[in-house]
Structures are given as C-alpha cells and as structure tokens.
Amino acid sequence: MGSLAKPNSTTTLCHPHHITATQKGYRSHSIPAIRSSSFSGEGNGRRQMLSAFLAATAAVAVQSTPMAIAQNWGTRSFIKERFFEPGLSPEDAVARIQQTREGLHSLREMLERKSWRYVIFYIRLKSAYLSQDLKNALSTLPDYRKKSYIKTANELVDNMAELDYYIRSPKIYESYLFYEKTLKSIDDLVALFA
C-alpha cells in the first residue's frame, strides 16, 4: 500500500508573489516617494520658514502689547482650563477694573443682536478675576470711601451674577434690566477711584 501524503493544513494568506497591475495589462502609475526633510539630505526649508513666521508673529505681538500688562494681567493656561492670575498691584487692579468697565459698555451691541453665547462668555470671564481685583483695589481708597466702595462692589458682583443667570435663560427684558444695573454699579465703582 502506498502512503498517502497529508494535505497541508495551514493556509497561507499572504503570498510572497503578487500579481501587479502591469502583469494584468494595466498601466502602472509611479507614486512619488514621500520623504521627511529631517531624514533626507535636503535642507529644512519648511521648518526654517515656519520658525521665521512664528518668530515674526511673536515679535509683532510683543510690540503691540505692553509687556507690563502682559506680565501682570495673567496669561492663558492650556494645561488648566483657566487664566493664571498673578497677584496684581492695587494700581494694576484699578486699571483692569476700568478696562472691564469699558468692555461692559461695549457689550450693548452684542446684547441687541442677541448673541447670548458671547455675552455669557464675556461676563463669566470678567467675573472670574473681578473679585480678586476688587479686593486688591480696596487698598488704594481712603478710609472714608471704603464703606461705600464695599457696598457698590457687592452690588456689582450681585448684578453680574443676575445678568449671567438671565442671559443663560435667555430672558430678554431681565437681561437688559440687569445689564443696565451692572453698568450703573461699575460706573459708580470707577467714580470712587477718581
């Protein structure tokens, strides 16, 4: 009796010999090799151009923003989703409160257009550091103004919280009402520094 050979039980999925497109009669198109400039002998033109662009952008940003403001008023932290707030001097806190007043006055156009998302973002951003600024700015006032300053500062914080609530709803009449109350409070507060 002859011995029967066992059939191969393993199936090969990837054959080392592939049929290419030219063997089937199709035209083959050569695809250019994509190489990284860091591994090839060519120069790093893209990287040099990108680094020059970033350096020029940073130089323009530094020239347009006074360094004292950029260093003192905090920077955006991408690690923690909030602003880094260094301890401001009382004079810088007063300046930032005055800037917040100007920003709140310019917010009227967004309210009229009913751009609720932007108004909420602005109000929450300003509320985030306004409490610290109000505490720091208190030391610049003489003793006879401190009582009225504390009362006005508390009204401002309450009005901004109510404004945030009604904009989130959104209730139009109440939003305008507390926007006007917030403006009056911050105008009274800034007037105490004069």
Q: Which of these, 126, 130, 131, lies nearest to 167 by C-alpha position? A: 126
Both tokens of 64, joined, read 């347009």
Both tokens of 8, joined, read 């191969």
Both tokens of 39, joined, read 């591994």
pLDDT value for 58: 56
Ordered by where they begin, the domains of the chain are 89-193 (1.20.120.290)
| Mean pLDDT, range 22-51, rounded to an integer | 53
- Percent of all residues in the chain with a pLDDT value above 90, rounded to a whole number: 37
Q: Is the pLDDT of residue 188 over 90?
A: yes
Residue 55's pLDDT band, with cuts at 50, 70 and 90, is: low
**pLDDT tens digits, residue range 161-179?**
999 999 998 888 999 999 9
User: Alpha carbon 171 to chain centroid distance?
Assistant: 27
Over 43-75, what HEC string results?
Answer: CCHHHHHHHHHHHHHHHHHHHHCCHHHHHHCCE
**pLDDT tens digits, residue range 8-33?**
555 444 445 544 444 555 555 544 44
pLDDT value for 190: 94
